Amino acid sequence: MYFKQILDERCGCASYLVAARKSHEAAIVDPSLDTAQYDALLRERDFRLRYVIDTHVHADHVSGARELRTKHAAELCLHESARVAYRFRPLKDGEELALGQLRLRVVHTPGHRPELISILIVNPPRSPEPSMVLTGDSLLVGDVGRPDFGGGDAAVQYESLTRLLRLPDWVAVFPGHFEGPCGKGMCGRPSTTIGFERLYNPLARLDRGAFVSTLTDGVPARPLNMTAIEATNRGLADMPWAMLTATPAVREIDVNALETRPPDAVVLDVREPEEYAHGHVPGVINLPQADLASRLDEVPRDRPVLTLCERGIRSLRAAQFLIQMGIEQVASVKGGTAAWRAASKAVAVGDTSVEKPRVSESEWAHAGAVSYRI
């Protein structure tokens, strides 16, 4: 057996190439948008790509699965419940994909997403038991995948985690993420074992009620450009450019400079609508980072744009994306809304039950001319 984990440091994702050395048949699991790296590896090893498998419809990075299928005439596989607009081989729980002497056994592990699967790798000539499991975004190192990206269910996820933790201690765990927004408590290691997670993953020691409460506590912050990325992965849009592929330097300003900004500057609060409604800098526009790419035409290119979030992390990435898209007059507010509150500056509140509509031209004009102290 040949096995390779491929890490994407920019988005914190992991993809995998599994191959049978004798038959030279290969499978790639959760491929990233950069498919050239897989092409090179297949050529170098003289492997023939038979399967491309997405463990689920990804919401934080664009998949390269369809491109690999086209290039290599491979089968594109997802769980049978996946809701996408393109053809794929539907996989069922317990189904096995033959890869030379290897067997890739499908385990349906919903919770993070309804269609999420894990893949047990079995090498029968060596052992009848699985030696590895690719867990996608179900079981992470020290954490589990968030159930709030759309269609997830924490109670269902508890059952999936319990099912995975019944595997033997020795089974090596290779998750779909090692860092990033998918989980709050990932330790950063790219792999672990079932035995270690059963003993030391804090979520694995919780009963059902505490598990659900922990995973549903707080306002979920959806990943940057999630709306466009998920639509692209479902085949409903073609926006691969929504991926943040560069890390340009971003000018940062403090909250005092935010307060005294030029009158034509537009401030984008990239937090979730509920966060915004519970307290925001007066006069700013709420445009969640998850919707930034799909609403890019609303961002002016001829005026200064300032990005703002809770503590400055999301706003920095949003600013990097805007710069990547050619918007030059961009700065991020250091310390975010938390620093604004800490400086005892006035905040405004709004109705959390009303969805924020698309920003009109009049709102942009108002945002640039409003007085910023009450």
pLDDT band per the 50, 70, 90 thresholds, residue 351? low
pLDDT band per the 50, 70, 90 thresholds, residue 180? low
pLDDT band per the 50, 70, 90 thresholds, residue 184? low
Domain assignment present for 190: yes
* Pair 188, 325 in one domain: no
Q: How many C-beta neighbours within 10 Å does residue 210 have?
A: 12
Note the pLDDT tens digit of each residue in 192-224: 999 999 999 999 999 999 999 999 887 678 899
Note the pLDDT tens digit of each residue in 94-137: 999 999 999 999 999 999 999 999 999 999 999 999 999 999 99
* Pair 86, 179 in one domain: yes
* Pair 44, 181 in one domain: yes
| CB of 285 closer than 8 Å to CB of 359 | yes
Percentage of the chain lying above the pLDDT 70 cut:
91
Tokens 């996989």 identify what position?
91
Half-sphere exposure of 162 toward its Cβ, with a 13 Å CA cutoff?
A: 10
Query: How many Å apart are CA 243 and CA 7, to the nearest integer?
Result: 16
* Pair 346, 272 in one domain: yes
pLDDT of the residue at 354:
38
| CB of 111 closer than 8 Å to CB of 164 | no
User: Which CATH number do you get for residue 316?
Assistant: 3.40.250.10
Structure tokens given for 295: 């609403």
Structure tokens given for 171: 């089974």
Query: How many Å apart are CA 72 and CA 24, to the nearest integer?
Result: 14
* Pair 61, 121 in one domain: yes
Q: Does residue 58 carry a pLDDT above 90?
A: yes
Count of domains in the chain? 2
Of 252, 278, 290, give the one whose Cα is nearest residue 146. 290
Query: How many Å apart are CA 8 and CA 338, to the nearest integer?
Result: 31
* One-letter-per-residue 3-state SS of 250-297: CEEECHHHHHCCCCCCEEEECCCHHHHHCCECCCCEECCHHHCCCCHH
Tokens 């607009």 identify what position?
85
Half-sphere exposure of 229 toward its Cβ, with a 13 Å CA cutoff?
A: 25
Query: If residue 89 lies in a helix (H) or strand (E), which one and from where to where?
Result: strand 89-91
Domain that holds residue 349: 246-369
Note the pLDDT tens digit of each residue in 242-251: 999 988 999 9
Tokens 């998949």 identify what position?
63
**In sequence order, what are the beta bridge partners of 7?**
14
User: Which CATH number do you get for residue 27?
Assistant: 3.60.15.10
Percentage of the chain lying above the pLDDT 90 cut:
83
Note the pLDDT tens digit of each residue in 257-301: 999 999 999 999 999 999 999 999 999 999 999 999 999 999 999
Dihedral of alpha carbons 308, 312, 318, 322, sign: positive
pLDDT band per the 50, 70, 90 thresholds, residue 75? very high
pLDDT of the residue at 366:
41
Tokens 């507010």 identify what position?
333
Domain assignment present for 68: yes
3-state secondary structure of 108: strand
So which residues are the catalytic ones? Answer: 309
Q: Does residue 25 carry a pLDDT above 60?
A: yes
* Pair 158, 15 in one domain: yes
